[in-house]
Chain A
Amino acid sequence: MDSAAAVRGRLDALWRIEGARIVAALARVTGDVGLAEDAAQDAVAEALVSWSGTGIPRNPGAWISAVAKRRAIDRWRRAERLQDRYEMLARRAQDEAAPEWDPLPDDVLRLLFTACHPVLSTEAQIALTLRVVGSLSTAEIARLFLVPAATVQQRIVRARKTLAAARVPFEPPEPNEWTPRLRGVLHVIYLMFTEGYAATTGENWTRPELANEALRIGRILTGLVPRVPEAHALVALMEFSASRFAARSGPGGAPVLLADQDRTRWDRVQIQRGVAGLARADELSRELGRPRGSYALQAAIAQCHATAARAELTDWPRIVLLYETLGRLSPGPVVDLNRAVAVSMATGPEAALAIVDRLAAEGALHGSHLLPSVRAELLARLGRTEEARAEFSVAAGLAGNRREREVLERRAAAP
């Protein structure tokens, strides 16, 4: 006899560990992610009631799997989709050979491909990935993104309807589709991480929980596709970045910039994991005869910072070179802006200002605080104080994150 609270805690933990595999196995059998998810949720609700009375069974994962399968059949009966039901039962019959609670990890990979399907909006892809692969509740996702739970719920419902309308099969992509689709999966994880790493909106400068969820899903992915260099490179990039969390916020949550961070507070274990991950990515790329991709280049830049014991030991010329390479591989104003920062450190603010002014003239990053805040910094370093002050004010007006805005306002007052 366990208390309801104890059962709830145990169930939540189990769900995080087993949820993705349970939903994935059901999705394979029913061919319908939405149905699989609903049936699994039914089983979890049932477990909560049943286990509070009779205690937690010896193999709780198998218990939930079995109940979820029954609930899936009930839902089909209610929907009276007879044809579909026969198909499902036929699939089940083929399925009996496999142990129910240990579906192939490939099911989870299919689930990830389905959740990141290009017919869905990016927002929907992220929400669905966190929900079905990360096994987070709607409330948890809402908390991570600072939106009402109802909004997340809507996104997920709409995502499911979209998948159903597009008749997306629960299957791994065709061989010719594999690479672009995997790129999409990596991109969703990357976006999830960057939003946690430097929150675009809200009160807090970082949201480590969100970044750590992205990292966990990324690590799961490298287990599923161990021979894909980009997956290892992305995880390495995230490990390096996450290693700085403890040093990136000062007292009261104010942002601390890279140069000012106390590097003794960086997580050495995570940095080592990053080094190992990037080495693995490079090794696999060599075997495949491919150059470093954009995640590997970004990870290499992060590694330059992570392995500099003091800010003044940073190998800026090497970072400039890596940004130039990255700019040719995946051109974009954010890369150019970062290159400008590296140039300012390697050669000085004039050369950097030339790059930033060219970007500004092109109207790049319009409406974002990034460009004016870098430009202001360069002007301040060149002693053009009044211009710097004005530019910091512009940047402060555009910053969506309160913490960043405060820093920029302070700089505007005293450049």
Chain B
Amino acid sequence: MKYMFIMRATDEAVQASKDIPFEQIINQMGAYNESMINAGVMIGGEGLADVSEGSGLVVDFAEDPPLVTDGPYGETHELFNGFWIVQVGSREEAAEWASRAPLGPGSKLEVRRVNEASDFADFADNEYIRKEELWRQEEESLKAENK
């Protein structure tokens, strides 16, 4: 099973992190990522750029066409600022890895299971039946051609 660790930090935590030498943060994160890569569980992850740079946008679907603005980001002053994707054997194992992340007060990791094929069984069913029908039609037309 796969889990996404969603990193959320309060504005205060983001401010506080600016007092720590950036190289130190990079080294700690690097060591953490390396430990998960070497254990064969980390399969993806990215850090998101600071929004104060005006680097991002928000697309709001409240209107048609959707409204594109520079912020506001998030509703609770908890900014989503990075993620990891890990492949592990259990929820407990995901929790164990998540709790080893080098984060301080004001930061939170949300651990969310990534949907798998089995979560869409009904959907797969319909799709499959549709495909099967299509395939049968093709078969029939081929047989007709070969007669």
Contact = CB atoms under 8 A, between A and B. Distances in A.
The range of chain A's interface size is 20 to 34
A89 interface: no
B117 A260 contact: no
A13 B38 contact: no
Nearest to A213: B89
A212 B87 contact: yes
Contact of A246 (B116, B128, B146): B116
Interface in B88-126: 88-90, 92-93, 95-97, 116-117, 121, 124-125
B135 interface: yes
A10 B38 contact: no
A224 B128 CA distance: 42
Given A9-B90, A246-B116, A215 B40 contact: yes
A12 B131 CA distance: 42
B124 to A, nearest CB: 6
A212 B129 CA distance: 28
Given A219-B37, A220-B40, A16 B89 contact: yes
B135 A260 contact: yes
A215 B86 CA distance: 13
Interface of B: 37-41, 43-44, 85, 87-90, 92-93, 95-97, 116-117, 121, 124-125, 127-129, 131, 135, 146
Given A250-B124, A251-B124, A14 B96 contact: yes
A247 to B, nearest CB: 8
A269 interface: yes
Given A223-B37, A265-B117, A13 B43 contact: no
A91 interface: no
B43 A270 contact: yes
A13 B127 CA distance: 37
A238 to B, nearest CB: 11
B43 A105 contact: no
A13 B93 contact: yes
Contact of A383 (B41, B89, B121, B146): B146
Interface in A382-397: 383
B116 A223 contact: no
B40 A216 contact: yes
Nearest to A246: B117
Interface string A220-240: 100110000000000000000
12 contacts: A13-B89, A13-B93, A16-B90, A16-B93, A17-B39, A223-B37, A246-B116, A251-B125, A260-B131, A265-B124, A269-B85, A270-B43
A12 B92 contact: yes
A245 B127 CA distance: 16
Contacts, number: 67
A273 interface: yes
A17 B128 contact: no
Given A12-B92, A251-B121, A265-B124, 11 more contacts: A9-B90, A13-B90, A16-B88, A217-B40, A218-B40, A220-B39, A223-B38, A245-B117, A250-B124, A251-B129, A262-B127
B85 A13 contact: no
Contacts of A223: 37-38, 40
A339 B38 CA distance: 36
Contact of A219 (B40, B92, B93, B127): B40
Contacts of B129: 251
B121 A269 contact: no
A273 B97 CA distance: 21
A216 B86 CA distance: 11
A309 B36 CA distance: 31
Nearest to B130: A262
A224 B116 CA distance: 30
B137 to A, nearest CB: 14
Nearest to B94: A13
A43 B129 CA distance: 53
Contacts of A273: 43
B35 to A, nearest CB: 9
